[in-house]
Amino acid sequence: MKLEMGSKGEEVKLMQTYLTKLGYDPQGIDGIFGNNTLSALKKFQTDYYVTGICDDKVFNDLANLYNQKIQEEQKQNKGYRKIRMFDSDIHIYETSPDEYVDVTLGVENKLEKLSKIDDPNVEEICKINCGFFDFDGSREHLGLFIRNGKLYYQPDNTYINFLYFKDGRTNIKYYDNNYEEIRYWLKELNWGIGCGWSLVRNGKIDVQGDKFFDHSSARHPRTLIAQKKTGEFLLIVVDGRNENSKGINTSQAAQLAIELNVWNCCMLDGGGSSEMIVNNKIVNKPSDGVERSIGSAIVVYKRS
């Protein structure tokens, strides 16, 4: 390979992409090796060798540095972070490859505070509240709840289903009212939960089911579960009902999910239930001022 002044094509465009990411601006990615690209290349080469020609060695150096930059950025986004959008504090936990996401009812048939829902046999890193529930404790989770081949609660099409398959992918769909589908889920899912409504499906805004919830268009504290196309899960809690944070509605939640580059995303229970705990510390501000007793939780563990 030899790219120099006057060269054109996809390899030039790729070189320009690398240069741009590494901070050497060629003034556009157009596949044409002109004066601006030459200037950017020479600035890059100043740290290594100055020739003004992109041969195999220079191209490979660019590619390696580019990939390192991408990996560094991805690593920086893992774990817990807090951002500010829609006049609200938004708490995000993004999983790493050595972490596993699971669902739990805690002690069955009992409402518990999120801080009390734990498994002493595993290392918990992060957890959030999960599904809607009956306040009298008669049902800990409204809608589908499947985990490890056991059906705890039947699907209810008021609540759309967020499904996590054993092959690592997720899907969002309503129940087809066909028990064969349940049999398939019991066999193929790590877990599946009934949620409030969908926000993003297959990388695009796709709001289904919000009509069943009269509070969906108003701004409230919210909890979301999402997965990126590359497999990472995002657990998201948005503060609300206080002077510092107004909360978000469905439209804003969908915009947030798109901003975070997720592939699938659903709304979980919110309001006073919305809570995130990271390393045994409550990181958000529950709107009740104290922890609410809830029925189910989503938990991030270290893989054994």
Question: pLDDT tens for residues 25-59?
Answer: 999 999 999 999 999 988 888 866 667 778 888 88
pLDDT digits (tens, 9 = 90+) for 208-228: 999 999 999 999 999 999 999
Pairing type for strands 276-278 and 88-94 reads unpaired
Nearest 5°: the CA angle 36, 39, 43 is 140
What tokens were used for 275?
A: 């809570």
Predicted confidence (pLDDT) at residue 68 exceeds the cutoff of 80: no
CB 125 within 8 A of CB 163: no
Q: Rounded to two decimals, what is the model's pTM?
A: 0.76
What tokens were used for 273?
A: 């239930």
Over residues 82-102, mean pLDDT: 96
- Res 55: pLDDT: 83
Structural domains present in the chain: 2-75 (1.10.101.10), 79-302 (no CATH)
163 C-beta neighbours (distance < 10 Å), count: 19
Spatial distance between the Cα atoms of 271 and 280, rounded to a whole number of angstroms: 21
| Beta partners for residue 32, in sequence order | 8
294 Cα distance to chain centroid: 22
Predicted confidence (pLDDT) at residue 123 exceeds the cutoff of 80: yes
Nearest 5°: the CA angle 19, 23, 43 is 70
- Res 101: pLDDT: 98
